[in-house]
Amino acid sequence: MDPRSEVLLRQADLFSGNLLLAGLQPDDLLGQLPEATGWSWHAGDHQRLQARFAGRCTFGVEPPTTAFEAAVLFLPKSRELTDYLLNALAARLPGGLLYLVGEKRAGVERAARQLAPFGEARKLDSARHCQLWQVRVENSPPVPDLQALAQHFQLERPDGSLQIVSLPGVFSHGRLDRGTELLLDQLGGLPTGRLLDFGCGAGIIGASLKKRYPDSEVVLLDVDAFAVESSRMTLAANDLEAEVIAGDGIDAAPDGCSAIISNPPFHQGVHTHYEASETLLQRAASHIRPGGELRLVANAFLKYPPLIETHLGPCETLINADGFRIYRAKRG
């Protein structure tokens, strides 16, 4: 059980009614709170919750339209995303109770200050290195306009300019990551066909690929609903067509790719996770056609080449700059 769920269960009488759990973890909380429903923006968590509690969890960037009497937000990583989520929930709860639960090291005490515009917040519990806060929504805000919260920036590339749109919580929100920038400079000579941008974020790599290889089919994949929505917005802003998939890990990707291009995830929340990237390296070969390739950027300290060589083939370092490496490996 996630420690934040355990903290909620210490006050289970508060949460026995028609409650929305926003950003809940794929644990047994829905089993313990039979009247509660969930809202997740993580495709993997959502899939796991659906498998156990079919029909009790929705996926997306907006709260479900069904009625709820109170809501709990599991604190996400980004401050901007927290702000959007709290406003989206408070807008649906005039006079109702809104709760925030999070780990102390994730900054829940600071995030609790974001409850102040809605009413007087109070700390209900502190346990398992987490805190639980509550506010009665005296001042219900208008429904936030997610489009208006998007950040827009322009990239000047040799093959033209690109408009990038990113939503709160998306990797490198509102700016170009240096690793991504280095990878964009190394997109030449890819085998055409089906190109996959794995872990697409705001869709910078995928949109660049479609611009550079207009005759190729481009697929963008991310686990996060806000990233998927940002990628769709980026493609639309540039009149580019590509498929965008919400999915968890490389297993959600189509087969027969001519190339997989990625700035893969290696950090998630307050805990460090390499799992999605390691699984990508282990299983990429089964999604790449013979003669196709994997091209990715990674922090130089990450020991990816041995994994790539074990599972795909000889790994070449195209460049080594600013603490990043660009790797290329072909499937024989």
Ligand X SMILES: C[S@@+](CC[C@H](N)C(=O)[O-])C[C@H]1O[C@@H](n2cnc3c(N)ncnc32)[C@H](O)[C@@H]1O
Interface contacts to ligand X, rule CB under 6 A: 44, 171-172, 177, 180, 199-202, 204-205, 221-224, 227, 248-249, 263, 265, 276
The residue (of 103 and 248) whose beta carbon lies closer to ligand X is 248
Structure tokens at 104: 């102390």
Residues 6+ apart with CB under 8 A from 102: 4, 74, 75, 108, 111, 130, 131
| CB-nearer residue toward ligand X: 91 or 302 | 302
Q: How far is the CB of 323 from ligand X (least distance, A)?
A: 14
**What's the min distance (Å) between Cβ of 42 and ligand X?**
8
Residues in a beta bridge with 271: 268
Q: Which is nearer to ligand X, 14 or 237 (CB)?
A: 237
DSSP H or E segment with residue 109: helix 108-111
Dist CA 62 CA 91 (whole Å): 12
**Least distance to ligand X from the beta carbon of 196, Å?**
11
| CA-to-CA separations, 135 to 29, 90, 140, in angstroms, rounded | 21, 10, 11
What are the backbone angles phi and psi of residue 40, rounded to the nearest 5°? -125, 145
Nearer Cβ to ligand X, position 112 or 196?
A: 196
Q: Which of 130/298 has CB closer to ligand X?
A: 298
Residue 174 beta carbon to ligand X: minimum distance, rounded to whole angstroms: 11
Shortest approach of ligand X to residue 309 CB, angstroms?
22
Q: Which is nearer to ligand X, 51 or 67 (CB)?
A: 51
Closest CA to 285 of 323, 314, 325, 263: 314
CB nearer to ligand X: give 44 or 305: 44
Q: To the nearest whole angstrom, how small is the minimum distance from the Cβ of residue 257 to ligand X?
A: 15
User: Are 72 and 15 contacting, i.e. CB atoms less than 8 angstroms apart?
Assistant: yes
Long-range contacts, stretch 139-147, CB < 8 angstroms, 24+ apart:
140/90, 140/91, 140/93, 140/94, 140/95, 141/87, 141/90, 141/91, 141/117, 142/91, 143/88, 143/91, 143/92, 144/84, 144/87, 144/88, 144/91, 146/61, 146/62, 146/84, 146/229, 147/233
Q: Which is nearer to ligand X, 249 or 292 (CB)?
A: 249
Give CA–CA dist 296/298, Å, rounded: 7
CB 230 to ligand X: min, Å: 9
Least Å from the CB of residue 263 to ligand X: 4
